[in-house]
Structure formats: structure tokens, C-alpha cells
Amino acid sequence: MKPTKIIIALFTIGSALFSIQTQAQRLPSKFPEAAPRQNVYVELGGNGIAFNAMYENRFRKAADGAGFKVGLGGFTSNYEKVFTLPVGVNWLLTKDNKHFFEMGFGATFLHYEDKFDWGWPGGTYNPYPVDVAGLTIDAKNSVFGHLTLGYRRQPSTGGIMWGVAVTPQFNQNGFWPVWFGLKFGYSFSRK
């Protein structure tokens, strides 16, 4: 993806985050807290494709409602190296402050490096386009979009949290509707 498209995508997400944050502050919550709920978790699959360490924060002093998330992830093997940086906005909906429906959207920066040595001196090899988890990647650095629809179990007083989600991925080359994420971590609550 070209640098101008990356800048436009990041600006659009930043504008959406600011707009959602200002609107979220005005809506009352059934489950107010002394500070916005924060979550730290690891995610297998999900928005960052492979393995991710994620941080999440609500926009208002509550366990539910709108929030943002950001993470680092990737994987390496003998033949390739992938680094991901997912960012996004999500909404948590609940009736009992324990079981949550999560929905959201965002973008993930992806760096893909082919480490395969083809064995001829001075030879050149261009691995692109390459398929990474169902998405066709055209360059070493790219950005793709993601959606999130899932279930989360998060204790009302904080503690161990976990969740599962369907996380479709898309970019200019196509749409990968069947991708899943499994998360496990800790929820910080201040009552």
C-alpha cells in the first residue's frame, strides 16, 4: 500500500476514535466505575493475524461502551517473518457486567519479510504478491482492515478475562471473512 493511503487510513481511524470518544463520554452506563476499564491480553489469531499482545481502554468510566485497543504481534519461521500492529475501536455491550458482546473495526499495519535463500549468487527474487492468512499482500509493508464480532467473559470486579471472536480481514485485494481470534488476559477494574 502506498504511503499516502496509509496516512489517509490512519487519519480516518484517528478521526473516528476522536468522534466516538466524545460521543461515548455523553452516554450513561449501567455499570459505572471510578476509572475507565482497562484490559491487557494475548490474542491468538484475531485482528493481528498471528499472536498479539493487546492493550484496551474504555473511553468513559465504565466496563461497557466504546473503547480503543492497540497491540503488537507477529511470528517468524525459517522462511518468513511477519510483524503486525493492530489498532481499533470496539464496543462492549452487556446486561449483567460479566458476559459481553463485542463488536468493532480497525486497521492493522503488516510487515512481511521473506527469509528464504534461493541459493544463487547475485540472483534476485521478489516474493510479492504473497498470501498471508488468506490475504494477498503486494508489498513488504501494507495495511489491512479488520472487523470484530465476538463474546467476552469479563468479571465485574476485574480479574481473568477471556473471549472468542470472528475477525474478518480485508484489503484492496479482497476479503477474508473466516478468521477467528481467541483472547486471554486480565481486566483491571476500579469501583
Averaged pLDDT for residues 105-124: 75
Query: What class, spelled out in words, does domain 3-188 have in CATH?
Result: mainly beta
Q: Where are the domains of the chain?
A: 3-188
Whole-number pLDDT of residue 48: 85
Smallest CA-to-CA distance from 69 within 50, 86, 92 is with 86
Is a pLDDT exceeding 60 seen at residue 1?
no
**Identity at 53, one-letter amino acid code:** A
Averaged pLDDT for residues 122-145: 74
Q: What is the mean pLDDT of the chain?
A: 82
End-to-end CA distance of the chain: 44
Of 29 and 112, the one with more pLDDT: 112
Averaged pLDDT for residues 84-96: 93
Smallest CA-to-CA distance from 50 within 128, 98, 108, 137 is with 108
Is a pLDDT exceeding 90 seen at residue 129?
no
The vertex-37 CA angle with 56 and 57, nearest 5°, equals 25
pLDDT digits (tens, 9 = 90+) for 20-41: 545 545 566 778 888 999 999 9
- Cα(137)–Cα(142) distance, integer angstroms: 7
Whole-number pLDDT of residue 10: 55
Contact 58, 37 (CB under 8 A): yes
HSE, CB side, 13 Å, CA atoms: give it for residue 18.
Answer: 6
Of 125 and 55, the one with more pLDDT: 55
- Cα(85)–Cα(67) distance, integer angstroms: 17
Whole-number pLDDT of residue 40: 97
Within the chain, where are the H helices?
Answer: 3-26
Q: What share of the chain in percent tops pLDDT 90? A: 43
Is a pLDDT exceeding 70 seen at residue 45?
yes
pLDDT digits (tens, 9 = 90+) for 56-85: 999 999 999 999 999 999 988 887 888 999
